[in-house]
């Protein structure tokens, strides 16, 4: 079973104490929302989980393997993948080529033909088959997000972190992203979604983590978290309330 253990993470940027002992566990194919006001530390936490930055102290284990000192490609190999708030694709490569690059880089013994077949399956799932020969730079913002989700699927990670998957996405593509999240989750993957879009987070997540000034102030079912006085307090005075 998938097991992610985050223990007592601290992160300092100079004198700025950005994560103050964050800890939680993910067991099995959970669908988790990670929320918190601007500057709460969500991106910093994600960057630590995927190996982009190292914690000042604390540990992260994935399926028994310590991953907090690994490089991002090693973390991906260990089974954790993420998307970015601002999408990153190879703009001058086609959609199909973009899908195959991460799988090639992983070098997991799949043949080119197997990778190509998998890429076609992924494209079909994302309803992007007709775009396979387009250059990534020709895609809309929402399609770029789908492409990034597709690249993750090619790697087949156990734990997937989606950073703002709904931001700037056309409502039609939103449905595809929702379906993606549900289907990938049903296939046994753990998913952590970071979003400021409360409607989406509340309708999708089974569990919510709330960060505020580097502290995890709530961890539980959305309905309970919504009523938690500490969470209400954290969002008071923040304009995110109105977006909810
Ligand atoms: N590389 C860095 N150097 C210095 N300070 C940083 C760095 N990265 C983040 N910070 C600081 O850490 C704090 C948390 O930022 P972070 O981006 O993790 O928050 P967030 O919850 O993701 O915010 P948002 O919702 O706005 O994306 C902020 O005060 C930010 O200025």
Task: Give the start-to-end residue ranges of the domains of the chain.
Answer: 30-52+71-243
Our measurement of the distance from residue 12's CA atom to the centroid of its chain's CA atoms, rounded to an integer in Å, reads 23
**Cα 238 from Cα 110, distance rounded (Å):** 48
What's the pLDDT score for residue 83? 84
How many Cβ atoms sit within 10 Å of the Cβ of residue 46?
21
Residue holding tokens 């993606």?
180
pLDDT bracket for residue 159 (50, 70, 90): very high
Please choose, from the candidates 6, 101, 88, the residue with its C-alpha nearest in 3D space to the C-alpha of residue 45.
Answer: 6
Say which residue, 87 or 196, is predicted with more confidence: 196
**Token couple for 192:** 């952590």
For helices 141-155 and 112-125, the axis angle rounded to 10 degrees is: 140
**Cα 45 from Cα 39, distance rounded (Å):** 11
| Residues β-bridged to residue 13 | 16
Predicted complex ipTM = 0.96
**Token couple for 105:** 């880089």
Mutate to test the pocket of ligand 1, among 44, 50, 209, 215 (most ligand atoms within 8 A of CB): 44
10-24, 37-51, 105-119, range with the lowest pLDDT: 105-119
- The closest-lying atom of ligand 1 relative to the alpha carbon of residue 47 is 18
Could you report the per-residue pLDDT of 68-81, keeping only the tens digit for each? Answer: 999 998 999 899 99
What's the pLDDT score for residue 243? 46
- Percentage of the chain modeled with pLDDT above 70: 95
Distance from Cα 121 to the centre of ligand 1, integer Å: 37
pLDDT bracket for residue 237 (50, 70, 90): low
Cβ-based burial of 227 (10 A; exposed 0-12, middle 13-18, buried ≥19): exposed
Highest mean pLDDT among 4-18, 159-173, 226-240: 4-18
Distance from Cα 212 to the centre of ligand 1, integer Å: 12
Kindly report the protein residue whose alpha carbon is nearest to atom 2 of ligand 1.
13
How many Cβ atoms sit within 10 Å of the Cβ of residue 64?
7
Q: What angle do CA 6, 197, 173 make, to 5 degrees?
A: 105
Element (H, E) at 155: helix 141-155
CATH number belonging to the domain at 30-52+71-243, selected among 3.40.50.970, 3.40.50.300, 3.40.50.11540, 3.40.50.2000: 3.40.50.300
Could you report the per-residue pLDDT of 27-57, keeping only the tens digit for each? Answer: 999 999 999 999 999 999 999 999 999 999 9
Distance from Cα 172 to the centre of ligand 1, integer Å: 31
Distance from Cα 150 to the centre of ligand 1, integer Å: 27
Distance from Cα 235 to the centre of ligand 1, integer Å: 17
Please choose, from the candidates 198, 132, 137, 190, the residue with its C-alpha nearest in 3D space to the C-alpha of residue 167.
Answer: 198
Distance from Cα 188 to the centre of ligand 1, integer Å: 31
DSSP 3-state of 23: strand
Could you report the per-residue pLDDT of 160-169, keeping only the tens digit for each? Answer: 999 998 888 8
* pTM for the model: 0.89
Q: What is the DSSP letter of 129?
A: G
Region 62-67: mean pLDDT is 97
Mutate to test the pocket of ligand 1, among 12, 34, 37, 40 (most ligand atoms within 8 A of CB): 40
Mutate to test the pocket of ligand 1, among 43, 197, 215 (most ligand atoms within 8 A of CB): 43
Q: Does residue 115 contact residue 100 with C-beta atoms inside 8 Å?
A: yes
């Amino acid at each position: 079973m998938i097991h992610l253990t985050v223990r007592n993470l601290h992160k300092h940027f100079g004198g700025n104490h950005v994560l103050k002992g964050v800890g939680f566990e993910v067991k099995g194919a959970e669908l988790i929302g990670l929320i918190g006001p601007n500057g709460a530390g969500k991106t910093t936490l994600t960057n630590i989980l995927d190996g982009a930055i190292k914690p000042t102290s604390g540990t992260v284990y994935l399926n028994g393997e310590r991953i907090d000192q690994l490089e991002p490609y090693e973390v991906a190999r260990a089974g954790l993948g993420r998307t970015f708030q601002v999408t990153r694709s190879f703009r001058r490569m086609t959609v199909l080529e973009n899908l195959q690059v991460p799988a090639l880089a992983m070098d997991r013994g799949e043949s080119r033909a197997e990778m190509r077949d998998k890429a076609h399956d992924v494209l079909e799932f994302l309803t992007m088959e007709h775009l396979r020969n387009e250059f990534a730079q020709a895609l809309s913002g929402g399609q770029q997000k789908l492409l990034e989700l597709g690249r993750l699927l090619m790697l087949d990670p156990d734990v997937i972190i989606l950073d703002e998957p709904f931001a700037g996405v056309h409502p039609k593509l939103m449905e595809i992203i929702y379906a993606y999240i549900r289907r990938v989750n049903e296939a046994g993957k753990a998913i952590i979604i970071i979003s400021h879009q409360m409607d989406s987070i509340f309708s999708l997540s089974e569990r919510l983590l709330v960060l505020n000034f580097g502290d995890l102030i709530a961890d539980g079912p959305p309905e309970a978290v919504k009523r938690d006085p500490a969470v209400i307090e954290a969002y008071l005075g923040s304009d995110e309330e109105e977006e909810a």
